[in-house]
Structure 1
Amino acid sequence: MKLYTYWRSTAAYRVRIALNLKGINADLESVHLVKDGGQQHSPAYVEMNPAHLVPTLVLYDGTVLTQSLAIIDYLEALQPDPALLPPDPVERAHVLAAAHVVAMDIHPVNNLRVVAHLGDTFGAGPKDKKAWMCHWMDRGFAALEQMVRKDTRFSFGDKPTLADICLVAQYYNARRWGVDLTPYPRLTEIEETCLALPAFADARPEAQPDAE
C-alpha cells in the first residue's frame, strides 16, 4: 500500500493519522505541491488522481483511491477497530457534522489552488490571502467550539474520532497562518490531548520525511 502525500497537506495529514490509529502500514511517496510547478500536475500523477490533489492511496492490487474522507471511509470499512465513527446513528451524525465543518467548509476555500487563484485572477497580495484564510478558519472554529462536547477527552467521547482527525490537521494550518486560537479553548484542549497520542504525533507535518 502506498500513500502519495505532502508534508504540509492537511488532507494528507488526516489520512496519515487514520492509518496510524488503525495500525495500517503504508509506504509514503512525496508529491511536492510547489516545486517544479507542482508535482501534482505531472502527467503520471494526474493519471492516478485527475483532481491534481493529494492524498492518493494505492492499494496492494493497484486500485487507486482519492479524497481524504473517502480514503478514511475505506480504512474504516477495511479495519473497523478502532472505530473512527460511533455506531449510534445520532452520535455518528454529530461526528460527521464536525468533521465536515473542517473538510467541507474550511478546507476547500483555504486550498493552495484557491489562494493562488485569488492572487492570479483578483490581484490578492500576501496580506489579503492570509486574511482570507484566517477569516474562514475563524468562522469554522467558532462553530466547532460550540459543536464539540465539553465533558469528554476528545471531541465526542473518550476515544478519537474522525472529528478529531480533521480538527488536528486544520489546527496545524491555523497555527501556520497565525490564527488567534485563544477564542477556542476547548478545541485547543482537544488538540493537545490528540497530539499526546503517538498516532497523531507521528503524523505531524514536521515529523514527515519530506518536511522542509
Structure 2
Amino acid sequence: MTALRLLGPKGLPCAQFLRPQLSASICSSSVLNIETRAAPADEPRPLLYSFWSSSCSWRVRIALTLKNVPYDIQATDLLRTGEDHVYTDKYRKVNPMQTVPSLQIDGHTLCDSVAIMHYLEETRPTVPLLPQDVIKRAKVREIVELICASIQPLQNRSVLEHVGNEQSLVWAQHWITRGFQALECVLAGSAGKYCVGDELSMADVCLVPQVLNARRYKVDLTPYPNIVRLDHELQSLPAFKSCHPHQQTDCPPKFAGK
C-alpha cells in the first residue's frame, strides 16, 4: 500500500515523491531482500551444467570467472544420447526445459543464463557487471536483450533442427545479420573500450559468444567494425580465453585447444 501511495496525485511527477524516500539504507541489499554473501568454506562449490559449444553456457562461465567464483562443471551433452544428455529424466529434474546452462548455487538451481548473471550480480557485487550509472546500466540491458532475446534464440540448435538442414544455414545467417545490423548501430553510440564505455559488463559477456556463433555460420562481419573490434579486445582477456569452448573438457579433440 505504501508503494501505491508514493505514486502521488495525478499531475505530479513520480520522481518528486520517490526521491525523498531513497537513501542508502533503502537501496541496501538487506532492504531489497538480496543476500550479498560469500560461500562458507564448507559449502559445496557451485555446479554448472554446461555444454562446450553452447554460447549460453559460455556466458555463465565468463561471468563466474570474472566474479572470481570457483565452480565445478558437469558436462551435459546437447547432441549425443547417454547418461549426461540433456534429454534424460534425471536432467529434466534439474532443468524442466532440458537446456543448458543450469547452475546449482547457494542451495538453489537457476536455469537461464541471463537470470544466472543477474543473480550473481546481486549476490556477488564485488566485481560488478552492471554500471552504476542508470543510463549505462539500461544500455547494457538493452544489448543483453538484443543478443539473448532477438539474435541467439533464432539460430539456436533446436530452432535450426526444426527449420531443417537445407535451410538452416540461410536461416541462421539471415537472423544473425539482421540482429548485427541493429547491434552495430547501438554499439556505435555506447562503446568505449568495451560495449558500454570502459567498464566490463554483461553486454561484453554476451557479445563474444554470439560473434563466435556468427563465424560458425559464416556470416560476413565486414559491415560490423565495432562488433569486430570489441570481440578482438575482449578475446584477449584471460577470463574470456579460459572459458572459450575449445578449452572445455568436453570439447571434441579436433577442436580442443585451437
| TM-score bin (small chain) | over 0.9
Q: Secondary structure at the match of 1:192?
A: helix
User: CA offset at residue 83 of structure 1?
Assistant: 1.2
Runs (5+) with no aligned partner, structure 2: 1-45, 253-258
The amino acid across from 1:46 in the alignment is: R
The amino acid across from 1:74 in the alignment is: Y
1:40 aligns with 2:86: yes
Q: Which aligned pairs between 1:162-173 and structure 2 lie closer than 5 A?
A: 162-173=202-213
User: CA offset at residue 81 of structure 1?
Assistant: 2.4
Task: Give the percent of matched residue pairs that are identical in Structure 1 and Structure 2.
Answer: 38
User: CA offset at residue 60 of structure 1?
Assistant: 4.6
1:199 is aligned to 239
1:122 is aligned to none
Length-normalised TM-score, structure 2: 0.77
1:107 aligns with 2:152: yes
Q: Equivalent of 1:68, from 113, 123, 127? A: 113
Higher relative contact order (CA 8 A, sep 6+): 1
Q: Secondary structure at the match of 2:146?
A: helix
Task: Give RMSD over aligned pairs.
Answer: 1.4
1:182 is aligned to 222
1:211 is aligned to 251
Number of equivalent positions: 205
The amino acid across from 1:137 in the alignment is: I
1:93 aligns with 2:138: yes
Alignment deviations for residues 67-95 of structure 1 (CA, whole Å, 9 cap, x no partner): 00000111111211221111222211111
1:132 is aligned to 171
Length-normalised TM-score, structure 1: 0.93
The amino acid across from 2:58 in the alignment is: Y
User: CA offset at residue 153 of structure 1?
Assistant: 0.6
Alpha-carbon contact 2:190-2:197 (below 8 Å) kept: no
Alpha-carbon contact 1:150-1:186 (below 8 Å) kept: no
Runs (5+) with no aligned partner, structure 1: 120-124
1:159 aligns with 2:170: no
- Which one has a larger percent helix, Structure 1 or Structure 2? 1
Alignment deviations for residues 78-132 of structure 1 (CA, whole Å, 9 cap, x no partner): 211221111222211111111111100011111111111112xxxxx34x10010
Alpha-carbon contact 2:47-2:103 (below 8 Å) kept: yes
